[in-house]
Amino acid sequence: MAVRTATPTTGWLLRGTDGRLTAWAAVAGGVLRWTETRPGGPGWTGPQRFDVPGLEPRLSIARTPQGYVHLAGLRRRAHDDGRAETDVVYTTQFQSGLAMTPWRSIGTPYGQDWQRADQIGAPTVVVDSVGAHIVVRNAGGGVCARRMDVRGAWGPWTDIKGSHVLDTVSAAVTDDGRIELLAPAEEFVLRWRQEEPGGPLRRVLNTPAKPLAGSASSAPAADGRIAHYWRSAADGVLHVQTPDAGPDGAEAPAPVPLTSLGGDGQGPVASLRTELAGRPCTILAQRAPSGRPAVTAFPDDAPSEATWQETGEPCVGAPTLTLDAANRVVLATITPEGGLRVARQKDGEPGLALGEWERA
């Protein structure tokens, strides 16, 4: 079964409440799911296919502090009168390997205006200390958001501003539960952040840049900060920006410098923080021009030491990174034929040494 990924996403491998990993892949009109047979592996069940008529082949996935997994996507359905109905839909998995909740619609910012609804971007789901947020690029090129409260009820769509946004928004959450968003725009990278856990999303300083559409990702970084990644539209070079924040969570009112991470690649980069040989390190994975995954690992305080190495076989979309129940680094990819491939960190070896690739 071929897997089509219209816009890659990196966070598609997550650990559940029982320690088992679950991998997800979007296909036209549905979702594929693989589940570890036991925490830490080896062995997988799946893929199971879940049909969602009209679902576009692009998912956003987020894990709650309790280990629940929210999935969000964009559904487009044709009506007999020629009208195309577009809405944002979501589901939740409460336990690894068990049934998900029915897919539910939360509409769009445009109600019954199907023409404008058809112009929104793919949704991004992110979870703060209170509940889930779903964020979309709106028809005017800004950003709209809808949030879930502690009882699981969705509030109204709100316009959180912005302009000339190119595509999907990326998001991440700090250790204390504050969301940060990044949106590539024509002449800037736009950002929003919560100044306190559960608070409103507020705009912060734009970063002058010409980012490549479809290349943004965000992930937790050192010192309770968020790292935002994107590629330059001119040459595809990967950049990272890690804003400083004051003790009250507010960002310091000064431009944030960019760091080039080199390495030819495509799409967004997956990021994971862990310790290697007793040192806090950042691990990145991307899809190289050859189509194979490429990986680098470097100390948090030395991104200039990033050196990329290709591994495995060609993949579609973006690779993903996580830690398994044994706290080992796990790198996973989806093959063009729709197969899951997994490589785990070798036990007892220094640095980032990956074992043989496993076919799930």
pLDDT along the chain (360 residues), means of 10: 59 94 92 96 93 93 92 90 88 94 96 93 94 96 94 94 94 93 94 92 91 94 90 90 65 58 86 91 94 91 80 94 96 93 90 91
* Identity of the amino acid at 257: P
Residue where a domain terminates, one of 214, 235, 268: 268
pLDDT at 228: 94
Say yes or no: 324 and 287 in one domain. Answer: yes
pLDDT at 242: 87
Under a CB-based contact definition with an 8 Å cutoff, are residues 238 and 260 in contact?
Answer: yes
Distance in angstroms (rounded) separating the CA atoms of residues 259 and 255: 13
Looking at the 3D structure of the chain, how many domains does it have? Answer: 2
In a domain, 3, yes or no: no
Predicted TM-score (pTM) of this structure: 0.92
Under a CB-based contact definition with an 8 Å cutoff, are residues 132 and 123 in contact?
Answer: no
Phi, psi dihedral angles at 295 (to 5 degrees): -130, 145
Place of tokens 């700090």: 174
In a domain, 123, yes or no: yes
Residue where a domain terminates, one of 268, 299, 317: 268
Smallest CA-to-CA distance from 272 within 357, 215, 331 is with 331
What's the 3-state SS for 235-248?
Answer: CCCEEEECCCECCC
What CATH number does residue 193 fall under? 2.120.10.10
Say yes or no: 171 and 295 in one domain. Answer: no
Say yes or no: 86 and 42 in one domain. Answer: yes
Under a CB-based contact definition with an 8 Å cutoff, are residues 210 and 233 in contact?
Answer: yes
pLDDT at 301: 72
* Identity of the amino acid at 233: A
Say yes or no: 169 and 187 in one domain. Answer: yes
In a domain, 23, yes or no: yes
Say yes or no: 243 and 279 in one domain. Answer: no
pLDDT at 6: 40
List the domain range (segments joined by +) for residue 318: 269-360
Residue where a domain terminates, one of 227, 251, 268: 268
Distance in angstroms (rounded) separating the CA atoms of residues 337 and 316: 9
Say yes or no: 190 and 329 in one domain. Answer: no
In a domain, 6, yes or no: no
DSSP state letters, 142-210: SEEEEEB-TTS-B---EE----SB-SPPEEEE-TTS-EEEEEEBSSEEEEEEESSTT--EEE---EE--
Under a CB-based contact definition with an 8 Å cutoff, are residues 352 and 297 in contact?
Answer: yes
